Structure formats: structure tokens, C-alpha cells
């Protein structure tokens, strides 16, 4: 029986022979992600003439492609050129111009009479090229997991109607996870858990990265052995042990794919390959997936490593856009729905999000959802040096109003620009700094120029945590004018520092802030309402100081990661116990042969 993976061999100076077998867990993941039966997809094999020994999915001179049968597991490419590097991929055709690779061979170099191979027995993603080409930078085009490019992925129009049923392997015949396996270095005092997330420090898109990082540290202190599986777009260390956390960073086979949804599918594929490799030496007690981006991996792993799945939904596509208006948004909505309906253990960060899930996904009222807020970790900060703020337009003898977040429509920074225009006429000593990056950064900068506020409002782009903390320390007021905000970690950060804070009366923000007690609330999208709250602080300094102090005390008592890890631990314990009970009942139903 052929081993799972892909093998290439040169049978003559110009003929390459390929054999392969796609693992069951990859087939299941593909079905879960595309919501199509694998047998209904068009399988294909490609050969690339690559420019170097390492193939990263983009450095190919050309390729040849052939359609293959459903059960076919071998092929031969003929008439190859001598002294060239060749790489082979087996995958599926998503559309006429899109190919989704499932397996990739190592590079083979042809000679006149022989071939030189890399290690061909491993199934792994090849090391990635660090060439900085002109392809899309998803870090700039993604807002809390929403794609803001101008073109839509073609494959989502061809999916048709498909009622997804999670494919469960027969664990008694195929034995994807053998419970009799002896695991090396097993610490029975610490349960091993997997955290699946597409972003993790130092790769930071939004609040999700910091959330998972803080949760991982809190869970480690609760005697869990935490393993984080995440993306590696910035080519960090692939495997790292930091602060007691095991971190594994993976790359999709086509890591430079122009199609974001195809890239995410490839990320899920790379993640599950890494976990299946780790599961040979680790017994994972639980999987915790964060949002739809890693949902296909989580749902497939739930069956293949026989571990319960806990899911945290941080935001929804419906909520970000106030509805579903195009095919791209519908695809993401369906991925969220699939993930929510196929897990028994759901976590959200606010009561607002809990209500949103029930409303958007028509969930049954008896579906249990745990509400556990986000948190922050207050570390001792060193004194602020001049160098930290040297590149930031700090204006002495003026009062700073500061805001930070992804530069996207739902964060409401256009409302802040409108309010700044009005406030500057009343208080000429005010200026505004807005930190963060995102797809609307240039649009907002142009709006500032149109209103002649170049010396008043500054969009400064990405800032480090050190710079952000320095800006908080220098500001008079912090403002978060979001239209949609499931929680609002940056608002918690502001409150924790005792800064007079203004936030929109929406989402999770209104659950955090009590008006005129620990902060002030404004009407979302209303610049006059924001102006009114700013004036309240500026004209009542003693009131502002008292409200700021109340905010700091509230955060210290409610939003520590230690407390949040304690609440999450309760969910984990229930999930693990339920999984054991269900496993026992299944085993009891099996008739002995």
C-alpha cells in the first residue's frame, strides 16, 4: 500500500514519474472548506519548471497541467529539458485559472543521465522565498478578517447549493487517532491544548492576535500545555518556545496567492498538516479555534484527533457590513454559520455578540454560548524616551486627543475627522493623532487635506506597543468612535491607564463603559455627539480625572487575563468531560467481533 504523500523519480533523462496518495484528513478539510464533495471536484496535476531549488508557488517559468481521474495515483511527464529544476503538485481545479494545491513534491533536477533529489520522503511546505514582489499584501487589505480588494474570488460563484455534512472518519477502521499510542515526553499533569489562529504576535492585524496571546499566557498559568498554530507571512521563526507557549508558524503552499479566500484555504491545509505531524508525539485534549479563518482546520481536526472543539467568534461578516450584500460576504457568512452549527462549545466576548449570533444565524434559544470578555495584560513600562516619539508629530503646549485601531469604515474615524474640524474652531490648542493601518488610510488622509486639517489631524500608520503606550501617556482624551465593535480591547487599554475615554454607544463598548461613571458614551456616527462629550471633559477637569480613575479601577477588577483564563478553563473542562462521555457511549455501542 502506497504511503500518503507524493513521490517523484526520473525514469530516464527526460521522463519524470510521479506517484501520490492524498491523506484522508486533507480530503476532509477540502470538503469542509469548499463545502463540495471531493469526488465532485476536478483533480489535476501540475509540473513546474522553477527558477531555484526551493519553490514558493510563484517562481516558476511555466507549467504543464493534466486532469487526472478520481482514483488515479500515478502519472508520467515526458520530454523534459536537461539540467532544469522541476517540481510537481497534485491538487484541484477551482476554476479555469485557479489551481488549489494539496501536495507538493520536492524539487528534482534533471541531468543527462541522472537526477539529484532533495529529501523526498517528507510531506511539508517548502521553505518560502523572501522575495518582496508586487503581489497583494493581505496585511494591508484585511480588516478584522474582511477582504477589501477590488476583485472577488472566482470560485465562490461556482459552488452551487451544497448542504455541508462534516465527514466523520470511522475511527475503528481507519484509526486516524490511536488512543493506545505511547506519546513521548507526555506530561500527564498538564493537558495539552491547540489554539488555532491566523494571527499571533509579532504578526498583528487586529485585536484577535493580542487576545490569543493573552489567553495563551493565562491558560499556561492554569497548568495547560499550550500549542499555538498560526500563519507566518513575515517569515518569523517556524517553531518557537516562548514564555512557556509552543508556537508553530506555517505557510500555505501558495503563500503568494492573489486570492485571499484561496490563501486562507491553503493556510488551513498547512495548519492541519502541522497538527497531524504533532499528533504523532502529542495527545491533544482540546482544540480552540478563533473565528472562521481557521474553522475548516478545527472542524476536521475534531474528528481526526478525537478532541473536542471550542470556538470563539470575535466578530461576524454581517455585523461588519450591516448585512450581506455580495458573494464574497456570503461565502464568509456561510463559513461562520458552518463553524457555529457544528460545535457545541461557543465563546463570545460580549452580550452584544451573543445576541448578534442568535439574530444573524437563527440559532436555537437552547444553544449554549459562553460570554467571556477580552482582557489586557498590564506590564511595567519603562520611562518614555525621546526616541520612542521622535517620528511622531507631538506638539508641545497643545492638548492631544488620541485614537488607535484598524483604519476601516466600521471604526468610525471619519466621524472623528468631522468632529476635529468643529472642535478646532472652538479649541485651537487641540490636535488629533490616529494610529493604525488599513485599506482606508489614504482615503482618510485625503479627507484631512480637503478640510485643511493637515496641522491638526495626523494619521500616523502602524505604531509599536511602546509608541502606543507613549501616546496614551501624552494624551488628554482617548476616543473610539466605532460604528461596529464586538468588544474593544483598545478602549480597555485606555481605561486601564486612567485616561478620560469616549466610546460609541454600540456593541461591546456600551457594556464596558458606564456613561459619566468610568467613561463617556457618544452616538455612533454622530460628530456633534462626539463634540459634546469632548467639551464635557475639557470644561470639567476634575470630573475627567475622577472618571479616568474609575475606569482604571474597573479594568483591574474585571479584565485581567488571569480571570479570563479561569472562565475559559470552565468551558474547557466541560468540553473535555462531555467528549469523554460521548466517546464512552460510542464505544459501548460497538459489538465485539
Look up the CATH number of the domain holding residue 234: 3.40.50.2000
Question: Do 198 and 342 belong together in one domain?
Answer: yes
- Smallest Cα–Cα separation from 80: which of 64, 57, 99, 103? 64
pLDDT of 184 above 60: no
Question: Do 347 and 404 belong together in one domain?
Answer: no
Query: Is-contact 217 377, C-beta < 8 A?
Result: yes
pLDDT attached to residue 162 = 45
442, part of any domain = yes
Spatial CB neighbours of 558, under 8 Å, sequence gap ≥ 6: 373
3-class secondary-structure state, position 83: coil
Question: Do 366 and 409 belong together in one domain?
Answer: no
pLDDT attached to residue 156 = 47
Q: What is the CA radius of gyration of the chain?
A: 26
Distance CA(377)–CA(559), nearest Å, equals 9
Question: Do 367 and 408 belong together in one domain?
Answer: no
Question: Do 350 and 204 belong together in one domain?
Answer: yes
Q: What is the mean pLDDT of residues 397-403?
A: 95
pLDDT-derived band at 385 (thresholds 50, 70, 90) equals low
- Structural domain ending residue among the three candidates 125, 144, 163: 125
103, part of any domain = yes
User: Structural domain tally of the chain?
Assistant: 3
pLDDT of 163 above 80: no
Q: What is the mean pLDDT of residues 510-517?
A: 92
Q: What is the mean pLDDT of residues 90-115?
A: 81
Question: Do 244 and 357 belong together in one domain?
Answer: yes
Backbone angles phi, psi at 104, to 5 degrees: -130, 135
391, part of any domain = no
548, part of any domain = yes
List, in sequence order, every beta strand (DSSP E) within 251-315.
Answer: 284-290, 309-312
- Smallest Cα–Cα separation from 518: which of 495, 486, 541, 490? 495
pLDDT attached to residue 401 = 97
11, part of any domain = yes
- What does the pLDDT look like over 401-419, one tens digit per residue? 999 998 999 999 999 999 9
Question: Do 272 and 321 belong together in one domain?
Answer: yes
Q: What is the mean pLDDT of residues 572-576?
A: 93
Nine cell digits for residue 352: 452584544
- What does the pLDDT look like over 197-241, one tens digit per residue? 999 988 877 778 888 999 999 999 998 999 999 999 878 899 999
Distance CA(30)–CA(300), nearest Å, equals 9
Question: Do 208 and 277 belong together in one domain?
Answer: yes
Instruction: Please count the other Cβ atoms lying within 10 Å of the Cβ belonging to residue 358.
Output: 14
pLDDT-derived band at 431 (thresholds 50, 70, 90) equals very high
The helix or strand, by DSSP H or E, that contains position 409, with its residue range, turns out to be: none
Q: What is the mean pLDDT of residues 324-350?
A: 92
Backbone angles phi, psi at 12, to 5 degrees: -155, 180
Question: Do 290 and 412 belong together in one domain?
Answer: no
Strand 245-250, strand 224-231: pairing: parallel
Question: Do 70 and 28 belong together in one domain?
Answer: yes
Q: What is the mean pLDDT of residues 526-531?
A: 96
Q: What percent of the chain has pLDDT over 90?
A: 52
Spatial CB neighbours of 214, under 8 Å, sequence gap ≥ 6: 374, 375, 376, 377, 561, 564
- What does the pLDDT look like over 467-493, one tens digit per residue? 999 999 999 999 999 998 888 888 989
Question: Do 354 and 422 belong together in one domain?
Answer: no
CATH number for the domain harbouring residue 121: 2.60.40.10
260, part of any domain = yes
Domain holding 105, by residue range, is: 5-125
162, part of any domain = no
pLDDT-derived band at 126 (thresholds 50, 70, 90) equals very low
Q: What is the mean pLDDT of residues 240-245?
A: 93
165, part of any domain = no
Helix (DSSP H) and strand (DSSP E) numbers for the chain? 16, 25
> Peptide bond before 202: cis, by omega within 30 degrees of 0?
yes
pLDDT of 538 above 80: yes
Name 435's bridge partners.
404, 461
The model's pTM is: 0.78
pLDDT attached to residue 128 = 35
Q: What is the mean pLDDT of residues 531-550?
A: 96
Question: Do 201 and 345 belong together in one domain?
Answer: yes
Top-confidence residue, 386 or 127: 386
- What does the pLDDT look like over 259-302, one tens digit per residue? 888 899 999 999 999 999 999 999 999 999 999 999 999 999 99
Amino acid at each position: 500500500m502506497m504511503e500518503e504523500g507524493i513521490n517523484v523519480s526520473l525514469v530516464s533523462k527526460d521522463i519524470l514519474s510521479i506517484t501520490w496518495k492524498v491523506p484522508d484528513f486533507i480530503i476532509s478539510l477540502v470538503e469542509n472548506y469548499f463545502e463540495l464533495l471531493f469526488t465532485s471536484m476536478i483533480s489535476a496535476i501540475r509540473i513546474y519548471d522553477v527558477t531555484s531549488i526551493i519553490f514558493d508557488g510563484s517562481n516558476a517559468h511555466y507549467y504543464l497541467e493534466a486532469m487526472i481521474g478520481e482514483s488515479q495515483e500515478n502519472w508520467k511527464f515526458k520530454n523534459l529539458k536537461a539540467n532544469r529544476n522541476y517540481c510537481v503538485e497534485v491538487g484541484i481545479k477551482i476554476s479555469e485559472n485557479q489551481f488549489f494545491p494539496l501536495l507538493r513534491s520536492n524539487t528534482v533536477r534533471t541531468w543527462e543521465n541522472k537526477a539529484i533529489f532533495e529529501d523526498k520522503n517528507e510531506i511539508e511546505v517548502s521553505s518560502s522565498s523572501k522575495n518582496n514582489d508586487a503581489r497583494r499584501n493581505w496585511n494591508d487589505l484585511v480588516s478584522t478578517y474582511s477582504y477589501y480588494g477590488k476583485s472577488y474570488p472566482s470560485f465562490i460563484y461556482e459552488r452551487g447549493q451544497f448542504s455541508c455534512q462534516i465527514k466523520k472518519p470511522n475511527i475503528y477502521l481507519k484509526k486516524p487517532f490511536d488512543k493506545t499510542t505511547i506519546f513521548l515526553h507526555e506530561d500527564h499533569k498538564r493537558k495539552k491544548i491547540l489554539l488555532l489562529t491566523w494571527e499571533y504576535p509579532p504578526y498583528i492585524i487586529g485585536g484577535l492576535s493580542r487576545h490569543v496571546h493573552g489567553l495563551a499566557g493565562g491558560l499556561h498559568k492554569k497548568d495547560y500545555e499550550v500549542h499555538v498554530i498560526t500563519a507566518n507571512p513575515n517569515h518569523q521563526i517556524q517553531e518557537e518556545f516562548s514564555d512557556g507557549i509552543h508556537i508553530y508558524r506555517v505557510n500555505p503552499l501558495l503563500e503568494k496567492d492573489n486570492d485571499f479566500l484561496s490563501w486562507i484555504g491553503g493556510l488551513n491545509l498547512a495548519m492541519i498538516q502541522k497538527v497531524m505531524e504533532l499528533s504523532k508525539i502529542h495527545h491533544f485534549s482540546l482544540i480552540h479555534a478563533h473565528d472562521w479563518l481557521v474553522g475548516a482546520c478545527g472542524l476536521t481536526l475534531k474528528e481526526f484527533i478525537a478532541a473536542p472543539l471550542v470556538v470563539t467568534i470575535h466578530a461576524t461578516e454581517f455585523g461588519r457590513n450591516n448585512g450581506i450584500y455580495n458573494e464574497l460576504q456570503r461565502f464568509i457568512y456561510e463559513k461562520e454559520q458552518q463553524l457555529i452549527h457544528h460545535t457545541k462549545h461557543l465563546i463570545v466576548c460580549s452580550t452584544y455578540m451573543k445576541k448578534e449570533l442568535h439574530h444573524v444565524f437563527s440559532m436555537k434559544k437552547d444553544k449554549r454560548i459562553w460570554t467571556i470578555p477580552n482582557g489586557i495584560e498590564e506590564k511595567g513600562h519603562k520611562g518614555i524616551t525621546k526616541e520612542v516619539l521622535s517620528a511622531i508629530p507631538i506638539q508641545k503646549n497643545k492638548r492631544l486627543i488620541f485614537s488607535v485601531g484598524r483604519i476601516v469604515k466600521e471604526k468610525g474615524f471619519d466621524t472623528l475627522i468631522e468632529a476635529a474640524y468643529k472642535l478646532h474652531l472652538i479649541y485651537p490648542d487641540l490636535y488629533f493623532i490616529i494610529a493604525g493601518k488599513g485599506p482606508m488610510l489614504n482615503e482618510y488622509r485625503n479627507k484631512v487635506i480637503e478640510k485643511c486639517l493637515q496641522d491638526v489631524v495626523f494619521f500616523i500608520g502602524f505604531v509599536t506597543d511602546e509608541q502606543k503606550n507613549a501616546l496614551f501617556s501624552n494624551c488628554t482624551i482617548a476616543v473610539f468612535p466605532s460604528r461596529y465593535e464586538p468588544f474593544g480591547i483598545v478602549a480597555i487599554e485606555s481605561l486601564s491607564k486612567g485616561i478620560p475615554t469616549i466610546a460609541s454607544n454600540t456593541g461591546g463598548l456600551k457594556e464596558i463603559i458606564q456613561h459619566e461613571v468610568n467613561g463617556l458614551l457618544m452616538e455612533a456616527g454622530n460628530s456633534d455627539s462626539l463634540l459634546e462629550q469632548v467639551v464635557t471633559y475639557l470644561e470639567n477637569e476634575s470630573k475627567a480625572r475622577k472618571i479616568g480613575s474609575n475606569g482604571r479601577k474597573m479594568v483591574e477588577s474585571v479584565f485581567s487575563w488571569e480571570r479570563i483564563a479561569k472562565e475559559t478553563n470552565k468551558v474547557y473542562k466541560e468540553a473535555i468531560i462531555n467528549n469523554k462521555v460521548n466517546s464512552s457511549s460510542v464505544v459501548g455501542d460497538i459489538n465485539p467481533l
